[in-house]
Structures are given as C-alpha cells and as structure tokens.
A and B are shown apart, each in its own frame.
Chain A
Amino acid sequence: MSQSKTMSILKDNLWTNNPIFIQILGICSTLAVTNNLRNTAIMTIGVALTTAFSSFTLSAIKELIPRKVRMIVQVLVISFYVIIIDILLRAYLPDVSKQLGPYVGLIITNCIIMGRAEAFAQANKPLLSFWDGLTSGLGYMAVLMAIAVVRELLGFGTLFGLRVLPTAFVPWTIMIMAPSAFFLVAMVMWWAKNMQAAKAKPAQGKAGTPAAKPATPPAQPAKA
C-alpha cells in the first residue's frame, strides 16, 4: 500500500469522513456508553478492533463470497469477532465484562462495522481494509472520548472514576442520561461542519475550483 493512500484514509476516517459527525453512524452506542470514560474507552477499542479484523477477513475472502449471501457472511464474520472479544473480556477482565454487560454484544449492531465492510472491504486489499477499519474505529473513538469527558465530568464530577471537581459540585443528572449525548453530538457536528466549511471556502476563492474533497460523503444509509 502506498503511503499517500494510507495517509488519506487516515485523514478521511478521522476528519473529512468521520463515522460519527459526517456519516452519522453508530449513534446508538454513542448515546448509551459515553456517560463513563472507562466503558467508552473499552467499547471503542472493541469497535476499532472488530472493524479492523472483520474488514480484513471479509476483504481476504471477498472473491469466494457469493453475492446472494454477502450480508449474511458479513454478519457471521462480525459476530465471530465480537464474541471472541466477549470471551476474552470474560476470561481476563471479568470486572470490565460485568460493567459493560450487554454493550459488548451490541458492538455487533454498530453500523460502522458493516458500513466499512460494504463500502471499503468489498473493493480493496486485506491490509488496506484492515487499516481503513482501524482508522474508522479511531475516528469513532476520538469523538466518543471527547463526549465522554464532558459527560463524566459534569455528570459525576470525575474522570476515569477519579474525582476532579470538588465534592460541593452538584452533578448534572441530565449528563448521565442519554439526551445529553444528543446535544453534545449535535454540537460536535456543528463545530466540525463549520470548520470544514471554513476550510473549503478560501480554497475555493483562491483556485476558483471546488475544494478537492467534498464535505459530504457518498450516500450511506444513515441508521444508528
């Protein structure tokens, strides 16, 4: 794989085509886990690894998969990796496994994984697909961790369970509940879109051509 391609995939997945604030994928889990930094970190690492490995596997066997059962095979491969993660957590990190409870199993429903399998791994080489899956997961992680910092800090007064704000601070209960993630995700989207639009404008003015990369992604199913 060429270096420019890997760099452009990295930039795409972290910023110009970020799964959360551009593609609007994986929103359910964003609402559910981001009230706690530790759970967010483990969940997003799980998602990044699952996306990377399932993209790699699906890309490696893509020539063999009949089109009729393509999606079934994708789900099979994705669930395989999710269950492996679940088994490893249960055996080696029982506390974390107990805390995450049903969320580990729910990694499988994260649209980012299937989205990358459909949109990228179908048409690219295994290693490149692995890199694409991993960076997509990192883009997801970056946004979720940022949201989790705000939610845990204001909702519990702690970061990673360590008290940061004085005990006199009255926690904002709304920050623990799912609705606050809606506000925060919307704010992140607003900020990111504004930044991207501001960057696109001067480029347009100078060169007289549209920005090299359109801010809007190719049409993707916007489900959570």
Chain B
Amino acid sequence: MKKDSILYVVVFTFVISAIFVTGLALANEGTKDRVAANRELTSQAAVLGALGISYGNPDEAKTLYAAAVTPIADASPRAYRATVDGSSFLAVEQSGAGLWGTITVIVAADPAGDRIRGVQVVSQNETPGLGGRIEESWFLDQFRNEASAKGIKVTSGAESKGTGDVNPDNGLVDGITGASRTSSAFESIINAALARVRAVAGGAL
C-alpha cells in the first residue's frame, strides 16, 4: 500500500490513535483507586483544616475525621456537623465564580453563623501569585474565629493595612493587592456560605 494513499492515511491514523488511547485508558484504570483515595483525603483534610484540627499524617487525619465529623446525609453541596472541644460547628462546601473559574471553599462556623471557625480552599484557578494567594495561610488565617454576624467584608486599598487583619471581632479581612476581583468574589462566596450555615442549622439541606 502506498504511504500517501488515502486508505493508508486513514487506517494509520485510526490504528495509532487506538494504540495510544488504549495506553491512556490502561494508565487511568490502573491509578483510578489511588486518585479517588487521594481526592477523599483532600476533602477530609479541607474539612479538618476549616475546623482548625491539625494532624500529622494521612492515617491520623482519617481517625480524627471519623471522630469529629459527621457528614449530613443528602445535603447538596456537602455539609458536615462537627464537634470540636465540646462545642458544635457546621461546615459547608460552597462554590462561586472567581475571576477565571469556580472557587470552592469549605467554611466552618458556629450553627448561628455568628463566628467563623475557619476557611479552607478546596479548588481554585485564580492567577498564580496574585488571586491564587487565597490559598496561603496568611490570608486564610484572617478568617479564624472572625465575627461574622453581619457578614464578612474583604477590604482593599486605603481601608486595609497591608499586614493582614488580625482583629477577630470587626468582621474585616484584608484583600490581596493586585487581586481585587478575586478578593471581592471570595467575600461573596464566604457570605453565601454563612447564609447556608444558618439555613442548614434551621433544618434545610
């Protein structure tokens, strides 16, 4: 068969695609369980992180998670009841539009939504080095035990002090310089999550 004939080109393209796609399918199949386990651990770690529970290794995380957290059945997106040091908290997963894509966070708060326990970012696609810094601890630590009865405000420009807002009682959090859109998106996601915490506490799913 001539190498430039249409038949050869079609058959060759078909065969070579089949070979490589099969290779990929096998690789995907072989690592599927591992990837699923990793994803499970990531989601548990995010809930633990939002609740402020620290852990040393994956096994410890699993035990701590099982002891402190109960997922609420049928809640969508996911919500969790948790007991830490004798007081009860609610944690909810919340997604919202960021600058480039969807930002998904876990927010843990007391059932009345008056005080945030902590916030963790599950996934985001913001600009690396700018909006992507919402994952960094200096930013997320500002939410730790922040008063949120009137909602959270992410400040920018002249209002912010540039060092991170350390006062947990004013409901203010410093935004990220150069990422105003991400910061304000984050603000509305957190406030939506707080509204959901109150709704879940009131019995909604």
Interface residues of A (CB under 8 A from B): 32, 35-36, 61, 64-69, 72-73, 76-77, 80, 83-84, 87-88, 90-92, 94, 98, 101-102, 155, 173, 176-177
Contacts and interface: CB of A to CB of B under 8 A. Distances in A.
A49 B38 CA distance: 25
Q: Which 3 A-B pairs have the closest CB atoms?
A: A91-B31, A176-B129, A94-B38
B16 A76 contact: yes
Contacts of A88: 27, 31
Contact of A177 (B34, B123, B129): B129
Interface of B: 3-4, 8-9, 12-13, 16-17, 20, 23-24, 27-28, 31, 34-35, 38, 41-42, 123, 125, 128-130, 177-178
A68 B9 contact: yes
Contacts of B123: 98
Contacts of A173: 177-178
Nearest to A73: B16
A73 B24 contact: no
A73 B34 CA distance: 31
Given A80-B24, A173-B177, A177-B129, A66 B34 contact: no
Contacts of A66: 3-4, 8-9, 12
Contacts of A177: 129-130, 178
Contacts, number: 67
B173 to A, nearest CB: 20
Given A69-B12, A91-B35, A177-B129, 19 more contacts: A36-B128, A36-B129, A61-B16, A64-B12, A65-B12, A66-B4, A66-B8, A66-B12, A67-B3, A69-B9, A76-B16, A77-B20, A80-B23, A83-B24, A84-B24, A87-B24, A90-B35, A176-B129, A176-B130
Contact of A87 (B3, B31, B130): B31
Nearest to B6: A68
Nearest to A93: B38
A69 B7 CA distance: 13
A35 B42 contact: no
Given A32-B128, A173-B177, A87 B12 contact: no
B128 A35 contact: yes
A99 B4 CA distance: 45
A91 B38 CA distance: 7
A84 B4 contact: no
Nearest to B178: A173
